[in-house]
């Protein structure tokens, strides 16, 4: 696939870019290393000032940057603007807290003085996805830059204008020219970057296949990686739950970015005693969803990002239906109105009565498709939630403290949200287990991923 902006709402190619040549990549690596040698000595105060300025630029131009995202990935415009605002938030958060997060930690030993010091590693490569083109990058860049590292961004090939805009924002904010550079390159050019001795670590958000490929290449070079991969997050609703709140949140949680989010709720696991009522309310809410032009602020569901993503999603849905699952709403591209068929839209879909052995058991459905399961009790709900190869997020709804504690303790995931939808927050660590990856972003844990945790002993 080439590097290009293709409007998913129309299929129109808006702008194309040539990938960097080998010598251009080498020049950017040279600049990164040269910049790091000076940048690592800048003060926290200076870095904080630059990052606060980046937040100001984001906030002042949120409509412009939001439109770029909408045109590149079909994100509904109101959600795109909110993403820019959240990116500003993570910049402000690390600008305000990095110094304390990276302060020396004194530890009492039999030395005259002993402590832990956090120091930057150097160049960190970030391989980022298209679904949150600003947020995913800034949640890496803010802590990495505050720690004194420099970044190279290999963004998804369908969001080149977002990638260039982010580099421009950080330059305008005052960061040195080589502190954060965008590499417009294809996936086949990543090895040239990761194999360079000056690149010390890498982080990737994306598919299992992409994560395995990067981790393998980095492992061959003995380099640290952080991976945030797919998810098939359970949304458990037990009979004591506030049903109206659970249904309302279920729709929002599933339809994040038109369903294209790793932490979107995907498997709805509902206790049998309330399943009929929950299902009826969920279908009713689905019928009211507005699908259409993502630049229209009244639209809730935009197109999927690429035709390939839509094809893959439809194949998964059809495989489930062919084996006995029932589509309560949606389930076929033929249900789309004629005026949406030139874009990459998919109808909001709910699949129920899903038999064992379908893709719903172990695949990530990336789009506006809810998978509905019924279970008799708490034990069965936890068992089904954990039967997935993924372990990113989870949401569970109950007002009984004992059930809450069981869910918190026993669900296999990087995060558990009780009576709330899963979301990322700069103040809390974010990441998964099992095939959802390893390592953490955000919080104090996120800024500690790409530093040398140096033990110092003075006698």
User: Looking at the annotation, which residues are catalytic?
Assistant: 228, 262
Mean pLDDT confidence for 26-48: 98
Structure tokens at 197: 């001795």
- Residue 1: per-residue pLDDT: 54
pLDDT tens-digit readout, 282-335:
999 999 999 999 999 999 999 999 999 999 999 999 999 999 999 999 999 999
Kind plus residue range of the DSSP H or E element containing 269: strand 265-271
N-term to C-term CA, the chain: 59
- Residue 125: per-residue pLDDT: 98
Gap between the Cα atoms of 223 and 396, Å rounded: 37
Say yes or no to pLDDT of 2 above 90: no
Say yes or no to pLDDT of 126 above 60: yes
Q: Per-residue confidence at 30, pLDDT binned at 50, 70, 90?
A: very high
Mean pLDDT confidence for 70-76: 98
- Residue 380: per-residue pLDDT: 98
Cα 430 to Cα 95, 180, 185, 391, 410: the distances in Å are 19, 23, 27, 12, 18
Mean pLDDT confidence for 106-135: 98
118 backbone dihedrals φ, ψ, rounded to 5°: -100, 125
Mean pLDDT confidence for 153-167: 98
Mean pLDDT confidence for 342-368: 96
Structure tokens at 459: 């006698």
Structure tokens at 52: 């606060």
Helices 62-73 and 44-60, axial angle in degrees (round to 10): 70
- For each of the domains in the chain, give its residue range(s) and CATH number, in order of start: 3-229+436-458 (3.40.605.10), 233-425 (3.40.309.10)
201 backbone dihedrals φ, ψ, rounded to 5°: -165, 170
What's the whole-number average pLDDT of the chain? 97
Note the pTM of the prediction, 2 decimals.
0.97
Say yes or no to pLDDT of 412 above 80: yes
Kind plus residue range of the DSSP H or E element containing 220: helix 208-220
70, 76 Cβ separation under 8 angstroms: yes
């Amino acid at each position: 696939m080439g590097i290009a902006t293709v409007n998913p709402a129309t299929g129109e190619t808006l702008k194309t870019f040539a990938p960097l040549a080998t010598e251009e990549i080498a020049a950017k690596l040279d600049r990164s290393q040269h910049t790091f040698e000076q940048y690592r000595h800048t003060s926290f105060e200076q870095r904080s000032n630059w990052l606060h300025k980046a937040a100001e630029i984001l906030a002042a131009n949120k409509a412009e940057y939001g439109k770029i995202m909408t045109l590149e990935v079909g994100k509904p415009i109101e959600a795109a603007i909110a993403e820019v605002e959240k990116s500003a938030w993570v910049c402000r958060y690390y600008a305000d807290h990095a110094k304390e997060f990276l302060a020396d930690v004194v530890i009492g030993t039999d030395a005259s003085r002993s402590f832990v010091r956090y120091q930057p590693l150097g160049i960190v490569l970030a391989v980022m996805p298209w679904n949150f083109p600003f947020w995913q990058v800034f949640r890496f860049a803010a802590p990495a830059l505050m720690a004194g590292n420099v970044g190279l961004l290999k963004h998804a090939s369908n969001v080149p204008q977002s990638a260039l805009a982010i580099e421009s924002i950080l330059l305008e904010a005052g960061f040195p020219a080589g502190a954060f550079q965008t590499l417009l390159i294809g996936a086949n050019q990543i090895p040239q970057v990761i194999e360079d001795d000056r690149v010390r670590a890498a982080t990737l958000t994306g598919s299992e296949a992409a994560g395995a490929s990067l981790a393998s290449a980095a492992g061959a070079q003995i380099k640290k990686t952080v991976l945030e991969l797919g998810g098939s997050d359970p949304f458990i609703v037990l009979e004591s739950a506030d049903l109206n709140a659970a249904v309302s949140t279920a729709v929002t949680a599933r339809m994040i970015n038109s369903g294209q989010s790793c932490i979107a709720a995907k498997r709805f696991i509902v206790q049998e005693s309330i399943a009929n009522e929950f299902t009826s309310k969920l279908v009713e809410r689905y019928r009211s969803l507005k699908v259409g032009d993502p630049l229209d602020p009244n639209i809730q569901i935009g197109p999927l990002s690429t035709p390939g993503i839509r094809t893959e999603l439809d194949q998964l849905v059809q495989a489930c239906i062919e084996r006995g699952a029932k589509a309560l709403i949606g389930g076929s591209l033929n249900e789309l109105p004629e005026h949406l068929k030139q874009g990459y839209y998919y109808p909001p879909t709910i699949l129920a009565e899903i038999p064992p052995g379908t893709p719903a058991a172990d695949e990530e459905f990336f789009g506006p498709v809810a998978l509905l399961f019924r279970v008799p009790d708490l034990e069965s709900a936890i068992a089904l939630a954990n039967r997935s190869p993924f372990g990113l997020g989870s949401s569970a709804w109950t007002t009984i403290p004992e059930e809450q504690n069981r869910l918190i303790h026993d669900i296999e995931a990087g995060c558990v949200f009780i009576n709330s939808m899963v979301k990322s927050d700069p103040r809390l660590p974010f990441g998964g287990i099992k095939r959802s990856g390893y390592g953490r972003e955000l919080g104090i844990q996120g800024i500690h991923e790409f530093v040398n945790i140096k033990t110092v002993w003075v006698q």
